[in-house]
Each structure stands twice: as structure tokens, then as C-alpha cells.
Amino acid sequence: MLEVEGAPKLDVVKIRKDFPILKRRVHGKKLVYLDNAATTQKPQQVVDAVCQYYTNQNSNIHRSVHELAEEATEAFEASRDKIQRFVNARSREEIVFTKNATEALNLVARSTLEKFVKPGDRVVVTEMEHHSNFVPWQQLAKRKGVKFEIVSVSDDGEVDESDLETKLRGAKILAFTHMSNVLGGITDAKRLTKLGQDHGALVVIDGAQSAPHLPINVQDIGCDFFAFSAHKMLGPTGVGCLYGRRELLEEMPPFLFGGDMIRDVQREETTWNDLPWKFEAGTSNIAGVIGFGAAIDYLADLGMQNVAYDERQLTKVALEELSKVKDIVIYGPRDPRKRGAVISFNVGKIHAHDVASILDSEGVAIRSGHHCAQLMMQKLDVPSTSRASFYLYNSTDDVEALCNALRKVEEVLS
Ligand SMILES: Cc1ncc(COP(=O)(O)O)c(C=O)c1O
């Protein structure tokens, strides 16, 4: 039994009871789920909230006056209030529901480039971005004749600030990840935001990996936009969220057109609904948003400070134990205070997919591949990595199971 330093803040045994899937067996072995950076498991409370909507309230929102529609609208909009509090936005109008973080980032890229950026201006991203915070900027910049700049990062994911300062000259947008999905490194979001804004850029943060694991305070960070996905933080798939500063959202053109986002449609012209609905065209993923609200309740009850504290302790143990595995190369910062619980590694010359397959046969679910961050793979000079990522229901038992399964990899392949 591995020890963590200091008393844990959360009761993992109790938490695990809320996640029915964790009782599953895979290939006859106990499931050890360590693919949380891809998506997290859902507590019964979230499953129940989705089920309750379909069982008792199923109805479209905003448009009808009947009782079911009112109840559904109320539950849907209550999730917005919960998320507003969760990220400490100034008002509920600053919380826009999307289908995932990718769509939230596409929304910002499309609308800000249209409104605030001229041909010849610069858009700046870093080379560790997930493709979702890279390709939209790259492609839309090309369409508009905007310069697309990529800032270097170290192998540990630290942004090269002198390169950043150079590239920020004349930049209208700075977009960066709060936590790398490959290296686990946490960026100093507040500092980079200030740097970007001091140069006159709007700052967009990809919080897909940070919002599930760290307390988020968008007002304290000071960013202009912050995107995240429900499914990576105990919620359903098909729901994402964009926080945007109200004055900017007011000025920005809609991203998608259709029902719900209009105020008045005439033959020649259309006017837009109020925020945040101006950006929520068509029928939303109502059940998903309600489930997201239940996930936020669950996380808020545990306390994000506690979640972050326990994950840091677990990451420390995981890094120590993994480093004992023969021929392992671990990527990302070694200091658990500088990183989240996403640990990428390779074992000797064994292909990451082979590692993941053997681990799967032992019941251990991890991810292998380029993790939608091909530029970062080039930087690390590897085609792929294996990636184990932890969440609040993981314990040192799971670290032990991972390391034992990795020893099996050596046995099988030697
Ligand atoms: C850092 C980061 N950004 C963005 C995304 C995209 O999230 P989604 O697929 O939910 O849109 C991911 C997903 O893995 C991610 O890790």
C-alpha cells in the first residue's frame, strides 16, 4: 500500500461508491480507469439528473409556456447559474453553452477574428496547444490574411516569455492552454493574461484540462475568454462552455444562426437575442446541460481546493513510483506543484499503443497516441506517448496497479 504525504482531504472510498462503472471488470480484471484527460466517469448523481429530465421533464426550453417547458427551462438555466459561480464570472450572461470546448474555441476564434482583427494583425498561440486551440486559429487566420504566430515552449511546457513578448507585438489575440493535456504542466494563466493584455491582445484560455482539476476564478485570472468541456469534469458528453467578458460578447457577431438566437426576423434584416442566447442557436443539449449542473454540484460539494490538493499528492506518488519502472521516460514537470495529474511517458523503444494494449489486458485504461497535440510530439521528438491521467476517484491503489501492469509490459515484450 503506497502512502501519500499528509492526510487526504477527500474520502476516495466514499466517492468511488458514487461511480457505478468503477465496479466493472475488464478482461476479467478490476477496472483501473486512468484515461481521465480524455473523458471522466460520471457519478450516479449526474446519470440521475439526465434520467430525471428525460423521465419527468422532457420538453424544449425557452419557447413554450406549458409546465414541462417551464420546468425544463428552469433546470437548464439553473445550470448556468451554477457554472457562473463555479468559475466566478460576473454575470450569468457571460456563460454560453456550446457542444464542447472545441466548439467554444471555434466560436471565439470565428467571432473575435471577424470583429476585432484586421488583415496583417497577429494571432498568437503556443506550440503545446491541443488541436482544438490551434487549428481554428491557424485556419481562420489564413482565411482572413492574419499572421499566425506560434510561441515556443520548453520540453516541460513552460512558455518562452521572451519569444512570447516578441510575437505579442501587434497581436490582437493570445490563446493558450491552462494545463497541457500532454505534459500536465500548469501555465501561469494570470501572468500570461497580463502580458497579453499589456500588449493590447484579447486573451483566450483553453481550460479543458484545468477546469476539472483546479479552482477557477476567471475574474482573478483576468482573461477575456475561458473554454471548457463538461465531459472532462464528471458531466455528460456533448456539452461545453464558454466564459466571455460581457462587453466583448455584446460586440461580437453570432457564431451560428437559427432559432433561439434571434430577436426579430424581417425579410432583409435580423436582430439578435440577448446574451447569452445570442450564441446558443437551435435546440441545446438540454439533458446534457442539466447533467453538467449536477456535475458542478458534485465538484462544488467536494471543494475544488480539496480536489486539487489530493490530486497533487497523488501525482507526487505516481511520479515517484513510475520513475522506478525500467527504461521509462516521463515527460513534463517533475514538481507536482507545477503540474496536474496527467502523466505522459514512454517505455524504452516500445510503441505507446503496445504499452496501452498490454495495460488494457490488465484492466488498466490509459491513452496512447499524439493526444491531438502533434506539434508537442514533434517538440518531444516522439511519434506518440502513453498517458495516464488521474481524477478524484483514483487512489494509490490505481498507481500501484499501473506500475505493476507496466512491469508486465517488460515481461511480455522482453
Ligand atoms: C487541452 C484540451 N483542449 C481542448 C480539448 C478539446 O475538448 P473537447 O474534445 O471536449 O472539445 C481537449 C480534449 O482532450 C484538451 O485536452
In this structure, the residue with its CA closest to atom 7 of ligand 1 is 101
Q: What is the CA radius of gyration of the chain?
A: 22
Q: Which of 209, 228, 344 to mutate to test the pocket of ligand 1 (most atoms within 8 A of CB)?
A: 209
For residue 257, the tally of other CB atoms under 10 A from its CB is 12
The CA 269 to ligand 1 mean position distance, Å, reads 36
Q: Which domains does the chain have, with CATH numbers?
A: 12-41+303-413 (3.90.1150.10), 47-301 (3.40.640.10)
pTM of the entire predicted model = 0.97
Instruction: Give the separation between CA 410 and CA 218, rounded to whole angstroms.
Output: 45
- Is 372 catalytic? The answer is yes
Strand ranges (E), 86-170? 95-98, 122-126, 147-151
Q: How many CA within 13 A on the CB side of residue 48?
A: 9
Distance from CA of residue 306 to its chain's centroid? 19
In this structure, the residue with its CA closest to atom 14 of ligand 1 is 38
Grid cell for residue 342:
496527467
> pLDDT digit of tens for each residue in the chain (414 aa)?
677 778 899 999 999 999 999 999 999 999 999 999 999 999 999 999 999 999 999 999 998 899 999 999 999 999 999 999 999 999 999 999 999 999 999 999 999 999 999 999 999 999 999 999 999 999 999 999 999 999 999 999 999 999 999 999 999 999 999 999 999 999 999 999 999 999 999 999 999 999 999 999 999 999 999 999 999 999 999 999 999 999 999 999 999 999 999 999 999 999 999 999 999 999 999 999 999 999 999 999 999 999 999 999 999 999 999 999 999 999 999 999 999 999 999 999 999 999 999 999 999 999 999 999 999 999 999 999 999 999 999 999 999 999 999 999 988 877
Of the candidates 237, 236, 281, 235, the one whose C-alpha atom is nearest the C-alpha of residue 256 is 281
The CA 103 to ligand 1 mean position distance, Å, reads 10
Collapsing DSSP states into helix, strand and coil, what is residue 1? coil
Q: Hey, which residues does 225 pair with through a beta bridge?
A: 204, 244
